Chains A and B, each alone.
Chain A
Amino acid sequence: MLSSRMRTAAANVFSGIAIGLTADVAIAAWGVNLQPPVSPIGHDILELHNLILLICLIIFVVVFSFMFYSLYAHRKSKGHEAAQFTHSTKAEVVWTVIPFLILVGMAIPSTATLIKMEDTSKADLTVKITGYQWKWQYEYLDHGVGFYSTLSTPRAQIEGIAPKGEHYLLEVDKPLVIPTNKKVRFLLTANDVIHAWWIPQFGIKKDAIPGYINEMWTLVETPGTYRGQCAELCGRDHGFMPIVVEAKSPAEFDAWLASQKQGQAKDTVDAAKVWSKDELLAHGEKVYANCVACHGTDGKGVPGAFPAIAGSLVATGPVAAHVGVVMDGKTGTAMQAFKNQLSDLDIAAVVTYQRNALGNNTGDIVQPTQVSSVR
């Protein structure tokens, strides 16, 4: 279980201290409070957070100045004689009633913010978000546009072979795009286990639960790119399913939406074409990124937890069964049904790749048409 990375780890210990403690301006964030909000709810939460933190700090300082005064002044070494009082009804009533009143004072703004947060009515745009192990799917329900969004940080950066980029682990291949100054409603669900969708700067987080549709909303005031990640433990790659949202002005958003609609038409053309083995292998290698988390870059899997592809019965057995496993997944395991996530071309390419790479050499070629025939 301790991997061979152990060796490099020792060497990294020193560079770690260096990274951590020298003033490297590029990464030295030292963030100590909530990220700057960009939505009305985000502002409310920050205010609420600061208010309650302040109240807590004041009470803390008051209470413990009594204690520390006592620790200083009422010491036996200074010859202080112990008083023998055991209670004071007056004091006890006071310090029951006052905290209660402070709590009521805290509850009022909290309730107001909560009511605002839960009002998802009158949205300008609805996006359905589905959590998968370990990626997000976004669907613009009224526009027929949808896509998957996965981590785009290269493996080499994670494994410490390449230097880490600025947005290490918080970058995706296709970000969610939303218009600014419009009320966007999110519908959340999941396909396998529970995930949670969270963008700190929007001030919203909610679980994506299989069999449930949760709702939340945001209104982003400033154009920009906002980053977050899955916040509910969802298995091996829970730490590797970031969320990136690009907020564009409504005009730019409309243009983006139109270009997406065109892109989806191209997929149908691709599916009808007959592809060469090399083309399929080249594309399949890219699609295999979907499989790496469990089956590994080398296809050897994790013994006992995730099966190998190299030399496996599925990848060297009948083609139809192999395509079937990729399309429909395997219930009760982390192997999910890819048929709705990947295009016919993607599935054909990745199956071809798995059968002719990673140590397998069956010579089989699978065409997109073969995939579409079993949809």
Chain B
Amino acid sequence: MATAEAAHHDEHHGHPTGILRWITTTNHKDIGTLYLCFSLTMFMVGGLMALVIRAELFQPGLQIVDPHFFNQMTTMHALAMIFGAVMPGFVGFANWMIPMMIGAPDMALPRLNNWSFWILPFAFTMLLASLFTVGGGPAAGWTLYAPLSIQGGMSVDMTIFAVHMMGVSSILGAINVIVTIFNMRAPGMTLLKMPLFVWTWLITAFLLIAVMPVLAGVVTMLLTDRHFGTAFFNPAGGGDPVMFQHIFWFFGHPEVYILILPAFGIISEIIPTFSRKPLFGYTAMVLATAGIAFLSFIVWAHHMFTVGMPLAGELFFMYSTMLIAVPTGVKVFNWVSTMWRGSLTFETPMLFAIAVVFLFTIGGFSGLMLAITPADFQYHDTYFVVAHFHYVLFSGSVMAMMGGAYYWLPKWTGHMYDEKLGKAHFWLNTIFFNITFFPQHFLGLAGMPRRIPDYALQFTEFNVISSIGALGLGLSQLLFVYVVFKCVQGGKKASSEVWEQPLGLEWTVPSPAPYHTFETPPRIS
């Protein structure tokens, strides 16, 4: 009955249709869809850049691109993936799911929500356009280390401006999430009853507000160094190149958790559903998330052990970094315990969730190895690091989002996705991912530095394997796009519950979720 009323309601509003609907929308579901489509687009763009990198590294020698263009590709690939694919992707999930999970009719600040999305296409148009400026795109790596970034052309200024815009977008989005969660929960939805996805996003939003201004600050200092005669990072003027890294990583390490905590949230929703068993250790999961967020502020210099710190500094950052293994371990143990003695089935979202737990842990362990300072001197800036952060970012964040997409697509579209193709995508994706990135551990240990367009002959074998894997990994994402597209177009009708007795308010509304949900708040007992 509530559905019929909602549908009826919609007609009377007289929404703009076509493109204007999307430009003017203040509806959290529309904006969620926009974010998710944007994220998928940038994922493909960033992926193409990765394929350029892997094509050049397919064999020793320079074959396809100039080293300068290679550096632009490594830089842009990272910027597109981090700021274009993963961050907006999670905001898309937040928009769609947070109001439905806490029983709110919409996000608290709908107009702000519209703006925070529509800044992004402009930011990324500018960032990508910088590739076509005189001298090419930014080539100093996504970390934009001074003084190398001071040498770049106008593309660096465009990148700085684009980073500011993304920062504004993220901060607005984060404010919206916090205000929504604190003010719009349905009666009875106490903080400790919120789904874990909502919790992880709440903590992520605080991280965003804390560190995005720091990034904005450091790139502004870079801008004034480049054009207005300051010397923050120029030793000839009394500045300090290492200060750039300290400020950057004070943003950068919490950023790492901004990229992974919502993924933990998604996994914590999926695993209980397909284990038919409530999440194990809910309170411990919340505390572990908060603990990881706190620690993220005091470990930043582990990204820069090789800059030459005093022994006491190195020891502090080594110990604090190692400590992160404790709350992260708690999470992994709790996921495994959630599955333990459950009644497991293996639909596509569950396959992704299990793979994330397994593969993310590999990335977690290599992270622990990287924390060991003396050994880090060997791993630092090698392919070992590249393998490590792809195991946490791809098989952590990205695969969690894929799992989340399969999990909630029936709710979003009202149709079941094609389970056979979904599983095919999972296996292709996961196998090719490992073919691409596992050998990179060996390359790094054997001594291959990252960010090089050409390499010594002893690194050939694993690079060939990695490049073949990358091609397969890239192509398998076309299948993902096809499955999503097909599911939007039609398919078996999904019930409200979609899965077998899943927990959460989102499963109490029909599929597809009506344009407006929970206009009268539900009561949570």
Contact = CB atoms under 8 A, between A and B. Distances in A.
B358 to A, nearest CB: 6
Contacts of A374: none
Interface stretch (A83-91, A249-257, A275-283, A345-353): A83-91
B454 A71 contact: no
Bin chain A's interface residue count. 35 or more
Interface string B276-315: 1111111110000000000000000000001110010011
A150 interface: no
Interface string B438-460: 00001001110101111111111
B343 A194 contact: no
B189 to A, nearest CB: 18
B218 interface: no
Contact of B283 (A87, A206, A228): A87
Interface in B117-140: 133-136, 139-140
A64 B329 CA distance: 12
Contact of B344 (A34, A74, A85): A74
Given A87-B283, A211-B240, A193 B148 contact: yes
Tell me the dominant secondary structure on chain B's binding face.
helix
Contacts of B464: 16-17, 19-21
A49 interface: yes
Contacts of A332: 150-151
Interface string B328-367: 0110110011011111110000000010011001100100
B318 A107 contact: yes
B306 A235 contact: no
B447 A80 contact: no
A113 to B, nearest CB: 4
A95 B330 contact: yes
Contact of A52 (B239, B315, B375): B375
A212 B342 contact: no
A107 B68 CA distance: 41
A283 to B, nearest CB: 27
Contacts of B281: 86-88, 92
A103 B322 contact: yes
A334 B454 contact: no
Contacts of A239: 67, 449, 451-455
Contacts of B241: 194, 209-212
A375 interface: no
Contact of B68 (A12, A164, A198, A305): A305
A236 B61 contact: no
Given A3-B66, A32-B446, A235-B151, A96 B330 contact: yes
A210 B455 contact: no
Interface string B126-169: 00000001111001110001011011010000000000000000
Interface stretch (B92-100, B209-217, B376-384): B376-384
Contacts of B235: 210-212
A45 B377 contact: yes
A82 B62 contact: no
B354 A71 contact: yes
B64 A2 contact: yes
A29 B461 contact: yes
B62 A159 contact: yes
Q: Which of B62, B362, B377 has the most CB of A within 10 A?
A: B377
Given A17-B464, A114-B373, A236-B68, A158 B308 contact: no
Contact of B151 (A12, A63, A207, A334): A334
Contacts of A21: 461, 464
B275 interface: yes
A359 interface: no
A56 interface: yes
A208 to B, nearest CB: 10
Contacts of A205: 306, 377-378, 380-381
Contact of B445 (A34, A81, A188): A34
Contact of A82 (B141, B342, B374, B442): B342
Contacts of A15: 59
B204 interface: no
Nearest to B149: A193
A240 interface: yes
Interface stretch (A122-130, A166-174, A317-325, A361-369): A166-174
Given A74-B342, A193-B151, A231-B449, A117 B374 contact: yes
Contact of B457 (A1, A164, A228, A304): A164
Given A35-B446, A83-B341, A239-B453, A206 B369 contact: no
Interface string A16-60: 110111000001111111110000010011001100110010011
A103 B364 CA distance: 14
Given A48-B375, A70-B341, A87-B281, A169 B456 contact: yes
Q: Which of A8, A52, A166, A167 has the most CB of B within 10 A?
A: A52
Interface string A211-227: 11011000000000001
Contacts of B60: 164, 168-169
A256 B345 CA distance: 71
A322 B446 CA distance: 44
Contact of A70 (B239, B333, B340): B340
Contacts, number: 334
Contacts of A142: none
A160 B62 contact: yes
Contacts of B458: 27, 29, 31
Contacts of A157: 61
Nearest to B318: A110
Contact of B325 (A33, A99, A117, A194): A99
A99 B361 CA distance: 14
B147 A200 contact: no
A192 interface: yes
Contact of A200 (B141, B325, B447): B447
Contacts of B456: 167-170, 227
Interface in A321-344: 332-334
Contacts of B150: 332
A238 B60 CA distance: 15
B330 A92 contact: yes
Nearest to A211: B235
Contact of B336 (A59, A66, A99): A66
Contacts of B239: 211
A110 B311 CA distance: 12
A311 to B, nearest CB: 18
B368 interface: yes
Q: Which of B68, B279, B453 has the most CB of A within 10 A?
A: B68
B248 interface: no
B455 to A, nearest CB: 7
Contacts of B65: 1-3
A348 B171 CA distance: 57
A114 B311 contact: yes
Nearest to B463: A20
B397 interface: no
A9 interface: yes
A158 B372 contact: no
A19 B461 CA distance: 8
A294 to B, nearest CB: 9
12 contacts: A49-B372, A60-B362, A70-B344, A85-B280, A87-B283, A117-B377, A158-B454, A169-B454, A196-B381, A211-B239, A233-B148, A236-B71
Closest 8 CB pairs of A and B: A211-B235, A20-B464, A239-B452, A31-B446, A29-B458, A16-B59, A304-B134, A214-B308
Given A48-B375, A239-B67, 14 more contacts: A3-B66, A52-B369, A63-B361, A67-B358, A70-B336, A71-B339, A82-B276, A86-B280, A86-B282, A111-B318, A113-B374, A160-B63, A168-B60, A302-B66
